[in-house]
Structure formats: C-alpha cells, structure tokens
Chain A
C-alpha cells in the first residue's frame, strides 16, 4: 500500500511537471471549465429564480444537485486522467511496457496521470456546498454523513466505469469516444433525475447509474431518500466494482499485444 502511494506521488509529480510544458494550454483549459461551470450556474439561478420550483426542488436544492455533480466530476477527472490515453497505449504497443513493470497494470493505467489542475476547483466547490447546506433548513448531521458516504459510493461506481472503459479498449480499437459517452451520460446528472421522464428516469437510475451516483447523495441530504434505496446504492456500488475488476482480468487474458 505504502509502495503504491509513493508510486502515485511520483507519477502525479511527473504529470504536474507536464503542466509547465504547456502552461498556456493548461490555463486555458482550466479557464474553459470554470466558464462552463459559472455560465450554467448563472443559467440555473436565472431559471429557478423565475419558476421558484423545479421538479419539486427549490433553488438552493437545485444548486446542491449541480454542485454535487461538479464535485464528483472534478474528482473523477482529476484521478483518472490516464484513462484518456490508454487506447493509444494499446494501439502503439506501449501497454506492453506497463505490463512488464513490477507494478499492478490496472493501478498504473487508472491512476498514472492524476491531474492536479482540477484540484483547484474542488475547494471552492466544497465551500459553496457547505454554505448552501447551512442555508437549507432541516438538514441533519446524519443526512450530511450519508451524503458524504454516498459521494464516496459514487466515486467507487465511477472507478468501476473507468475500469470497464479500460477493458473495452483492449477488446476494440474502433470505439474512440467511450469515455466521452460516459461523461455525457453523467452530465445528465447535473440536474436531479426527476427532471427526466419515464422510462429514461429508470434507465439512468439503474441501467446507467447516474441517479445512484449523482441524485441519491443530495436526496439523502434533504432527507428524501428511503433507506432501501440506500441499500440498493451500496449493493450496486460494490457489485459494479467487482464486475469491473473481473471484466478487466478477463480483458487482460485476451490481450494479444498485437501492435507491439
């Protein structure tokens, strides 16, 4: 465990150094992300200020949904940046070099490019979420604890998704945009899933667990989530992670090193 922590620090430092190679590009990308966040936030405030209620939630609650989405999305992008480069490593044969090293290959391709540029967005998000939580009446300490646990569960599901994307990249080289599809589907969770009609709502709750990942935590915070949905969320999280790990092992067994 300690060894992997040191490796992660080393890889993250190397990834951070790459920021200095293309400073302007990195700053522009970060500015773009901040623009996108602020613009959509402004739009939600404009809209819900006019309607007062959206899908049964007031403005502060809607903002918590949006901020929770951004928080989970930022952490995911920060941690799993290397996944975006994996396909090219398979095609070029560079993945062989990773397999030969005395480090778990999944760890290397999942956490090998942690991007601390996204980290700067996390602290403001936490501060705004905390401020809004204090603005909403009747939020209990238990609600806050379950909210945090469900966010961790969302990160587990997100890890599983990224592992599946990695495994898929071994099987097929034609799917260029699998990870982008994941991100687009996840972006449906920047609004509460109550916004979507059936059967889309059920589909993005259970088939593609946007609801479990992004809507359940704020609902638990507002004391609107029944306990059996909590159980479903945790069972799904652990089951999905297990499935992704088995799928990864299965994919590795079928890796042919054809490109090297």
Chain B
C-alpha cells in the first residue's frame, strides 16, 4: 500500500514540474464545457422548458460536468500503450508491484489534481456567471450520484486499459482512442443530456456503457429519473465492469505472450 501511495505522490510532483501544461489542459476543458453552457443558456432565452429541462437543471448539468468529467474521464491509462510500445513495460514487470495498481495510482493522482482544479473553476464560474443553480436536497439522490461517479470511474478505467492494450498488437493506439473519445463526447452526454435524443436511439444507448459515464450520474443528481432506470442503470454498469474486467484479464494475458519489449 505504501509504495502505491508513493507513486501517487511522485505522479503529483510530476504534474507540478510541468505546471503550464496542466493549466493549459484545464483551460481546454473550460472552453469545451463553456461552449455547451452558453449554447444552452441562449436556447432558454426563447423558451422556459426545453426537452423537459428547465434552465436551472440544464445549466447545473453543464456546471457539474466539470466535476464529473474530472473524476471519470480524466485518465492516464493511455500511458499503458506507451509503456508497451517503447518497452518501458519490462521495467514495471520486473519490479515487485502490481502493474494495474501502479496504473491506478497514476490515475488517482491525475483525478485528484483535476478535481481540485475543477472545484476552483466551478466556484469562479458560479460567482462570475451567477447561473440559476439547482441544488439537490434529497440525500438519497446525492448518494446515488456519488456512487454512480465511483462506478463510472472504474468503468472508464477498464475501457482505457483495453484501448491501450491494443499496443501489444499495433503501434496505432492513438487513432482508436481518438474515435473512442469522440464517441464518448457525444454518446456519454458531454454535449447534451442523452434523454433529449429520439426514444428509440436513447433506449439502445442505455444498453451500452457510454451513458453511464457522464449522463447517468448527472441525471441522478438532477432527479426526475424513473426508479426502474436507477436500478437497471446500476445493474448495467456493474455488468459492464464484470465483462470488461474479464476482457482486460484475457487481453493482458494474450498480449504478454507476444510482448517483445520492442524499443528497449
């Protein structure tokens, strides 16, 4: 346990060595979320309720996106592909540590720092923009919200690992990741709440892991969600985690068999 805490600490120090990169990264996230925020802010100038959302719920959705995005979608799993392609993986395999716990420690450091930044950004934006924020008073919804974020982080962590394990077979790991990132942006609810989509498409989407990364936790916070969707949502998330966990194990084992430490 101690060694993994040390990895978290070293990873944090690594970030502070390249402060400007971190600041620019945060700036990029602010810009992308603010585009959606202002778009929806303008939409509500003509109508009080659109797609079943009032302005306070919709703008809160995008403000909370800062936090959920930092906790779920910020990940360092892409570095696994680099470890494989450049042969660094050999160093980790020789060390007395679990490689996946090592990756998880790097991820925790990344999420921790980004969450701190996102909270500060959120406070600044709320005090500057004075949006009509929706405060959830039902404790159960808040517990569901926090639980869903936690499970979504594990889900995204597993997806990130699988995408990086492509590195065992190909050096082209960025292109699949790029496509996946675009799919996540639209199908996870980064640009809009997914229940504004046509019903048929929305129902199909609910079977995939995407809505549970962003939309589902935020919807739990905002409330007005059917009870059946709460239970089925958590069930589908856990089912995906088990399935992907199994896949990670299988792909990792197969990959290690053909790993040649190329690049060392």
- Interface contacts (Cβ under 8 Å), in number, total 98
Pick the contact of B182: A36, A184, A197 (CB < 8 A): A36
Q: In the complex, how many angstroms separate the beta carbon of A2 from the nearest chain B beta carbon? A: 37
Q: B34 — which chain A residues lie within 8 A by C-beta?
A: 188
Task: Report the nearest B residue to A39, measured CB to CB.
Answer: B186
Give the docked Cα–Cα distance between A29 and B179 (Å): 7
Q: Which residues of B contact A175 (CB under 8 A)?
A: 20-21, 24
The answer to the question of A207 belonging to the interface, with a C-beta cut-off of 8 Å to chain B, is no
* Cβ of B135 under 8 Å from chain A: no
Which residues of A lie under 8 Å from residue B182 when comparing CB positions?
Answer: 32, 35-36, 39
B183 contacts A by Cβ under 8 Å: yes
Beta-carbon contact of A187 and B31 below 8 Å: yes
Chain B residue contacts of A29, Cβ below 8 A: 175, 178
Closest B residue to A23 using CB positions: B172
A250 to B18, CA, bound (A): 26
Bound CA–CA A178/B47 (angstroms): 38
Q: Is A92 an interface residue (CB 8 A)?
A: no
Q: How many residues of A contact B (CB 8 A)?
A: 39
Contact B18 A28 (CB under 8 A): no
Instruction: Please name all residues of chain A whose beta carbon is closer than 8 Å to the beta carbon of B174 when the two chains form the complex.
Output: 25
Where chain A touches its partner, the secondary structure class is helix
Q: With A39-B186, A51-B47, A195-B38 in contact, do A28 and B175 touch (Cβ < 8 Å)?
A: yes
- B: which residues have CB within 8 A of A? 18, 20-21, 24-25, 27-28, 31-32, 34-35, 38-39, 41-43, 46-47, 50-51, 129, 170, 172, 174-176, 178-179, 181-183, 185-186, 191-192, 196-197
A112 to chain B, nearest CB (A): 21
Give min CB distance, A83 to chain B, whole Å: 16
Q: B215 CB to closest chain A CB, in angstroms? A: 14
Tell me if A224 counts as interface (CB < 8 A to partner B).
no
16 contacts between A and B (CB under 8 A): A26-B175, A28-B175, A28-B178, A28-B179, A32-B179, A35-B186, A47-B43, A50-B51, A52-B46, A53-B46, A174-B20, A177-B24, A181-B27, A181-B28, A184-B27, A200-B38
What residues of A have a CB within 8 angstroms of the CB of B51 in the complex? Answer: 50
Please state if B38 and A35 are interface contacts (CB–CB under 8 Å). Answer: no
